[in-house]
Structure formats: C-alpha cells, structure tokens
Amino acid sequence: MKSTLLLFLGSLLTFLMPIQGLLLLVIGVVLLDTASGVYAAIKLNGRKAFRSGVLFNIAPKLFMYVGTTLLLYMTDTFIFQTQLFSIQFLLTKSISMIWVYTELKSIDENSQKLGNKPFLDNARDVFKIIKNFKKDINNIS
C-alpha cells in the first residue's frame, strides 16, 4: 500500500515537472503580495490593523491560481498535445502570466499606499538615465 502511494506521488510529480517553475512563480508572487499587504497595513495603521483572519485569504487565492494553472496544463497536455500555435504549454503560460501580473499590480498598489512612485514611473526614469548615459558615451567617442 505504501509503495503504491509513493508510485502515485512520484508519477504525479513527474507529470507536473514541466510546469514546476510556473507553479513556484505563481505561489511566490502570491506570498510576496500577501507580505506586502501585511507590511502596508501595519505601516499605515499600526499593529492593531493586522488580523490573522486576513491571512486566511491566501488559501482560496492559491487554490484558485494553482488550480486554474493545473487545469489549463492538463488541457494543453491532453487536448492540444502540449502545443498550440507552435508554442509549448501556451494556455498554461498565459494564465500563469495573468496571475503574476495581477499580483504584481497589487504589490505596486501596496507600494503606492506607502507613498512610493508607481513601478512604471520608476522604470521609465531608469530608461531615461540609461538613454542619457548612452548619449554621453557616444559623445565622448
């Protein structure tokens, strides 16, 4: 009985191996979003604003995100034979990136609550600095 369970778990892990990075990415970003939300709540309203009941929301979110990723992975594997429009696991990658974008947007909003500039503004500033640096290098040579 024990060896049958181990064989089943080994087979399941082997089946999920091609998308382990996507699953870890989605889980990691959800955990980062939760941490940034807790930090923002404590920073703005003090320790009294933090309730352990809020942390329970992480479970349904992870279940939904990982569940939809696994569902689309099985769709990619069994219906589309792993390729759609010549891209391997297209649906799985698409839904994973949607979830990552959603969580990154939430992290950015938590950062803005603390008085920071939006991420896109910071990225734009970095590109301006790089562009000016490149102009300076070209003027020197």
29: nearest Cα among 88, 106, 81, 95: 106
Dist. CA 23–CA 21, nearest whole Å: 5
> In whole angstroms, how large is the CA radius of gyration of the chain?
21
* Contact partners, residue 30, CB within 8 Å, separation at least 6: 58, 61, 62, 65, 99, 103
Beta-strand (E) ranges in 4-128?
Answer: 83-84, 87-88
CB 72 within 8 A of CB 95: yes
pLDDT number for residue 120: 77
pLDDT digit string, tens, across residues 97-132? 999 999 989 888 888 887 777 777 777 878 888 888
Name the more confident of 77 and 99: 99
In this prediction the pTM is 0.74
pLDDT number for residue 97: 92
Domain ranges for the chain: 2-140
pLDDT number for residue 136: 75
pLDDT digit string, tens, across residues 45-75? 777 766 666 677 788 888 899 899 888 888 8
Tell me the percentage of the chain whose pLDDT exceeds 90: 10
